[in-house]
Structures are given as structure tokens and as C-alpha cells.
């Protein structure tokens, strides 16, 4: 796990804000240095390049998801539904606390020809797929969720719905209620797969 200095975190946050306001094409070392009142050489002491900053932003996001999910565990007595709700709340609240990060994640089409950035986006997708997929698989195995579809397909359906909800929130200028709307998507999934207790 990479440890970032206070200055590096400040630079990453300024970079995400710039991307959110002006688009990723307007992120340059020159404009970023001006945003935070640093000279370009001073900024280069913290990051080697623009790509290095973007990789660090994505890495920081992955680290935060993992850190915040350590408290979410599948314990005896805790339903699969409660665990999955907690997992999704972690993701949604993280995006709400750092809304500009969605602009970086949703810029994946620009990263298409950069293998390092593409790999970092894939890490985020794989991490969320693993967290959700493992929950659905366990819930199906212990009879809390139906086996209407495989765990992998249900995971893709749920995360696809969450992705669309995040995109709508981003396009609304963060005016929609991401937590409420995301949990509504999850509730819709629960209506299809949760087996009612007898």
C-alpha cells in the first residue's frame, strides 16, 4: 500500500478538481502547479509526470475502498443483504466525499491507449466485482439469495446499475442524491433475489 505525503494528497485533490471542472484534457503540470501555487519544478519533486499523478489518484481511491471495507465483514448473524448494503454505502459515500474522483474514473476512454492507467481502472472494477460477487455467492450458498442467475451475472447487473446512477449524478453536477438513488438500485436487486424468511 502506497503512503502519500500531505503535499501529494493536496496535489491529487487539486488534479481531480481540475479534471472535474475543465476535463482531463485541461490537466497539465503547468495549470496544476498554478492551481496550488507551486512552481513546476516544485511539483515535479512530488510526481514525475501527469500520468504519475493520475495513477496515484486511482491507486489512492483503491486504497480507500479497501480500507473502508475492512469493517464490512460477513459475520454469523449478519445477513448477506446487510453486508451488501454496507459495501455499496462505502463506495457511494466515498464518491460523495470526493465527487471529482468520478470524473477521473469515468475518463477511462481517454486512458484506452495507456496500459498503466487502463490497468488501474481494471483494478477498481475487479475490486468492486470481487466484493459484490463474493457477497452474492455466499448469499446464494446459504440460501439468502435466489439462484435466478449466477453470482457473476447478478454482480454485473448491480454494478452496471450503480455505474449508471453515478454517471447521472455526475452529469447533474452532483445535484441528485447519489446515496438514495444508489440504494434504490440495490433495493430493486434485492426485490429480485432476496429469499423471504419463512
List pLDDT tens digits, range 61-85.
Answer: 898 898 888 866 555 568 999 999 9
Task: Output the nine-digit C-alpha cell for 69.
Answer: 471495507
Residue 9 has pLDDT above 60, yes or no: yes
Q: What is the pLDDT of residue 151?
A: 96
User: What is the Cα–Cα distance from 61 to 119, expressed in whole angstroms?
Assistant: 14
Q: pTM score > 0.75 for this model? A: yes
List pLDDT tens digits, range 133-148.
Answer: 999 999 999 999 999 9
**Closest of 95, 88, 89 to residue 61, by C-alpha:** 95
Tell the residue number behind the cell numbers 470526493, with chain if given: 98
List pLDDT tens digits, range 116-130.
Answer: 888 888 899 999 999
State the pLDDT confidence band at 198, using cuts at 50, 70 and 90.
very low
What integer is the mean pLDDT of 101-110? 76
Q: Which domains does the chain have, with CATH numbers?
A: 6-193 (1.10.357.10)
* Measured CA angle at 107 (ends 65, 53), to 5 deg: 65
Amino acid at each position: 500500500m502506497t503512503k502519500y505525503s500531505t503535499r501529494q494528497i493536496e496535489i491529487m485533490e487539486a488534479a481531480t478538481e481540475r479534471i472535474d471542472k475543465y476535463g482531463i484534457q485541461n490537466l497539465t503540470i503547468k495549470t496544476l502547479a498554478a492551481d496550488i501555487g507551486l512552481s513546476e519544478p516544485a511539483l515535479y519533486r512530488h510526481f514525475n509526470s501527469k500520468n504519475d499523478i493520475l495513477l496515484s489518484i486511482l491507486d489512492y481511491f483503491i486504497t480507500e475502498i479497501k480500507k473502508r471495507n475492512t469493517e464490512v465483514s460477513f459475520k454469523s448473524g449478519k445477513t448477506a443483504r446487510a453486508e451488501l448494503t454496507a459495501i455499496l454505502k462505502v463506495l457511494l459515500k466515498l464518491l460523495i466525499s470526493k465527487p471529482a474522483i468520478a470524473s477521473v474514473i469515468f475518463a477511462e476512454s481517454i486512458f484506452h491507449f495507456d496500459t498503466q492507467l487502463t490497468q488501474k481502472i481494471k483494478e477498481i472494477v475487479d475490486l468492486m466485482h470481487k466484493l459484490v460477487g463474493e457477497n452474492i455467492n455466499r448469499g446464494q450458498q446459504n440460501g439468502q439469495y435466489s439462484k435466478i442467475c449466477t453470482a457473476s451475472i447478478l454482480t454485473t447487473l448491480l454494478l452496471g446499475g450503480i455505474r449508471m446512477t453515478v454517471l447521472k449524478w455526475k452529469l447533474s453536477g452532483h445535484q441528485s442524491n447519489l446515496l438514495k438513488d444508489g440504494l434504490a438500485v440495490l433495493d430493486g436487486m434485492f426485490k429480485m433475489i432476496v429469499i423471504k424468511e419463512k
